[in-house]
Amino acid sequence: MSIQIKEVSKSFGSFDALKNINLAIQTGELVALLGPSGSGKTSLLRIIAGLEEADQGAVLFGEEDMTHIRTTERKVGFVFQHYALFKHMTVFDNVAYGLKVRPKKERPSKKEIESKVLELLGLVKLDAFANRYPSQLSGGQRQRVALARALAIEPKVLLLDEPFGALDAKVRKELRRWLRRLHDDFHITSIFVTHDQEEALDVADRIVVMNEGKIEQIGSPEEVYDHPNSPFVYDFLGNVNLFHGRLENGKLLNVDVNLAAADLENAGNKLAVGYVRPHDVTIERQGTDAEAVQATIVHIHVVGRSVQIELKRNDNDQFLEAELSKERHRELQLQVGEVVFVKPNQLRVFIPEDYSI
């Protein structure tokens, strides 16, 4: 089931939660709505579900206009952050609930409901827990029950609002991999809200980056991470080093360092900011060209297979971050307090007057 969002806006009093949102989601896609708190992602999800009504615009499932259709008639499965399980019901009854409350004409038989519920519990690896109550389960198990309950009604669309936000890091990682496999098996058009960049990059087919009620960028995880189209997207999707300067003949003049900005060589003499990720920073012992920045190492932190280096520029008080492999770190044998030269690679330059930064 494809989904089209057309010119959707929503305000709460004087606060504009959504501003003319246009979005097309293909059948079977797993799409992440990613952004900080207050960016509008949950409001958009609730409008798609029918839990909120847009002030203007339309929501289509396939070719059918669902804008004014009640939630119960949209055939949407909704998974909340805090599970929303019925505490007085067993795991089995929680999953069966959506089937049991259907109108009598549409309600499956008792045997069909039992078969469907046991099939879903087997799918989420909880068939041995059918007679337990939510209080007897871990957070990860409860979230899997919530997913099984959403799938029981055979929804056209699966919507998840911060589904793993209440869980610890290890359980979140296990469940998002499980969600990816589950989605590949069911091929249900799915949308999930998250403010966790790693979660969106790991799970989604496409990411919709939102900020202040607007869509900043839409693309595959690789596209939005490697080719951000605004300073906000660049900064939100991971650590970044900033180089402030002035554009001149395809160069960003930054104190006494000239950084390449070839894609803006015709931009004229303007103030600009260069962005580069820590893993795109090279550290050398000798400054080999005008793009090398002299800095002093102030902290070295080993994280798994990589080494994070924090440096302070010698020409100002700006701090920089570099991420090296363990092999490269061993080769350089860097020490805290040592003066080195930092060279940014893959520098992306933005002109502040064109963006809000």
Q: How many residues does the chain have?
A: 357
Question: Positive or negative, the Cα torsion across 140, 142, 148, 150?
Answer: negative
State the pLDDT at residue 78: 86
Secondary structure letter of residue 354 according to DSSP: G
Match 């596209």 to its residue by tokens.
223
Q: What are the backbone angles phi and psi of residue 67, rounded to the nearest 5°?
A: -50, -40
State the pLDDT at residue 305: 85
Q: Which domains does the chain have, with CATH numbers?
A: 3-235 (3.40.50.300), 239-354 (2.40.50.100)
d(CA 238, CA 154): 36
Is the pLDDT confidence value at 116 over 60?
Answer: yes
Q: Please measure the distance between the N-terminal and C-terminal CA atoms of the chain and give it in whole angstroms.
A: 37
Is residue 199 within a helix (H) or strand (E), and if so which, with residue range?
helix 197-203
Q: What is the pLDDT of residues 260-319, one digit of tens each?
A: 765 665 556 778 888 999 999 989 888 777 778 889 999 999 888 899 999 999 878 889
What mean pLDDT is predicted for residues 183-195? 86
Average pLDDT value over all residues in the chain: 87
Percent of the chain scoring above 90 in pLDDT: 43
Q: What is the dihedral of CA 240, 278, 218, 199, to 10 degrees?
A: -100
Question: What angle separates helix 139-152 from helix 91-100, to the nearest 10 degrees?
Answer: 20
**Residues contacting 165, CB < 8 A, separation 6+:** 81, 194, 195, 196
State the pLDDT at residue 167: 67
d(CA 39, CA 35): 6
d(CA 320, CA 339): 13
Distances (CA, A) of 216 to 36, 41, 208, 265, 331: 12, 12, 8, 25, 40
State the pLDDT at residue 321: 95
The helix/strand/coil state of 109 is coil
Long-range contacts of the stretch 36-39 (C-beta < 8 A, 24+): 36/195, 36/211, 36/236, 37/195, 38/212, 39/210, 39/211, 39/212, 39/213
More confident call, 354 vs 231: 231
Long-range contacts of the stretch 221-228 (C-beta < 8 A, 24+): 225/201, 228/275, 228/348
Is residue 296 within a helix (H) or strand (E), and if so which, with residue range?
strand 293-303
At 357, the pLDDT band (50, 70, 90 cuts) reads: very low
